[in-house]
Amino acid sequence: MSNVRLAIPSVRPGGLSAECSGHFGRCDCFTIVEINDGKRVKDTVIDNPPHYEGGCLRPVNLLSEHQVNALVVQGIGAWPLSGFRQAGIEVYQANEPTVQKVVDAFCAGKISPIDDRQVCQHH
Q: Span 2-30, mean pLDDT?
A: 94
Burial 36-68 (b: 16+ CB within 10 A, else e): eeeebeebebbebeeeeeeebbbbbebbbeeeb
Q: Per-residue confidence at 23, pLDDT binned at 50, 70, 90?
A: confident
CB within 8 Å of 66: residues ≥ 6 apart: 5, 7, 32, 46
pLDDT digits (tens, 9 = 90+) for 26-46: 899 999 999 999 899 999 999
Model pTM above 0.75? yes
Closest CA to 108 of 40, 41, 43, 45: 40
User: Does position 91 have pLDDT exceeding 80, yes or no?
Assistant: yes
* pLDDT digits 0-9 by tens, 93-117: 999 999 999 999 999 999 999 986 6
* Residue predicted with more confidence, 97 or 57: 97
